[in-house]
Structure 1
Amino acid sequence: MRPSSRPSPRERIAEAARTLAEAGVPTPGVDARLLAAHVLGVAPLEVGFAQPAGDFEARYAEVVRRRAAREPLQHITGSAPFGLLDLAVGPGVFIPRPETELLAEWAVREVGGVDKLQPLVVDLGTGTGALALTVATRCPHARVIAVEKSPAAREYARRNAEAVGARVEIVAGDMTDPQLLSELRGRVDVVVTNPPYVPETGELDPEVYRDPHEAVFSGADGMREIRGLIPVASGLLAPGGALGIEHDDTTSGAVRSLLLADASLTAVTPLEDLAGRQRFVTASKVTANQPTEDPWPAPSTTA
């Protein structure tokens, strides 16, 4: 580079990647490019062809500084991709993770197999609306109800529903409340949930602690909310209805044990994420004269 020339966006990105790497950001090159695309107002693949405005360097330096301080990338850009959706996020709402897309796909398949004109779906703890909106956009014939306790998160869910033009009923409620949606008991075809499930710890990446604490952590073992929501979900399900729960990769056996303890549930099955970790458990509500079964017994908890 000649001394008098101004660094190109590509050179600034390389410099930013080094800064982010030194700060411990796990994906410094990717984040540096995504931040540049955000400032330039272009797609990431178009960064190398964009003509930066005069204030690019100052604006880019500021967002790189924020990311180096371990502010989540999604809080800086204001959005998070989730499947085919681009969801508004920010302080006060949980940032959806890519692995949850597998649970969303499971829910879409289950809804597609329901032999009704209007399947009924409930998303417990909707947050940004990621699961509910995926189902609503992919299965527009379904009635989708999204339950969320946090007022801030409900507002994000409303914004996202309006942005994608999806019909979702957003309801204030606690996923562990035995009276939740009592008027729908025994009528719901699919219940899906990505609840708080991380064991209380101070050893995670700094970005995790920027999410609302109550949306991430769930007691010492990560199971508090799951224990509370299973009887609620079981009561809501219609005979033959399906339940899908995301959980920590250390608690698959514990979740299965809880589901097996509910005599009204059957076909308790673990599902793996793309890394081969058991991260989801599904079950279905028994139908008349159907015995319970467990093709995947939970591990013994005795020594």
Structure 2
Amino acid sequence: MSKIRFDETARSERYFTATLLSHLLMVNEFAGLKALFKKLNIMPDNTLSADIEIVTELDPLRDGAKAKGNIKDIFKERGRVAVPDLFLRWGNQILVIEAKFFTAPTVVALADQVTKQHDAIAMILDETQYSHCEIKCALLTVNEVRDEDELLSGISQLTWTGVIDILRDTLGEEHQSNIDYCFKILENAVKRSEKELISNVADYRLIANIGELLKALPELIVSEELFVGYTGGIDALEIAELATLEQRKHYKVSRLQPNSNWVRIDVVIKKYLDLKLGSDSSID
């Protein structure tokens, strides 16, 4: 068996967006970024403008609070609202991207996350240089999200393969080694993710009970097994009683969230602790 390379096993979305994709958007005088904006039909008023920004892992309120007093007050009141993976601006057009790679959150979760990202920027827009700008939000996923209830209306959908194709067409056939490197790693990661997402229903392990789930939490965080299977999803969990959680035969945990019956592990743990601590205090 051949030994592993970290760039062939990496799973962090931050690596793919902040390192690889951002590099491809910047090379050749931001040709990739301009091509992406053109594809989404969000061209600036002045297409010759060199006024471009690329910010990864933007926290609008926290970061802005360091520079502007009024934003500091908002940050104190609201705290951290949302952190988009990419904030891209060309002239008077802003594109905010939330990217997913080895996870497949529900449509409800995606819509909520993107809405919060838009709102976090919009609430301080007048305190920035972007009050004249138009904001467009987009999801970047391995597979296109099925939005049967139109929860993502107004949000552009991009796939990693589609973006790679846009950038390949833009940057041409003969690339510098650094560009080829980025394409190679991204395309390899897409293949790995597609394979995982196809088999995601079986990609879980069983944990005996809620006590073992608590004990395993540090390990699960490290291995990114952050979703728990719960029949009925969040609605069923919200009405669950303490005995239900304690007597449950087992808990399924997974890196993936194949459908709405899979709930984030922190939500399950919080529900249990709220019930447990409430029960203990009532006994006292």
Q: TM-score over 0.5 for the alignment?
A: no
Q: TM-score, normalised by structure 2?
A: 0.26
Which of 1 and 2 has higher RCO (CA within 8 Å, sep 6+)? 2
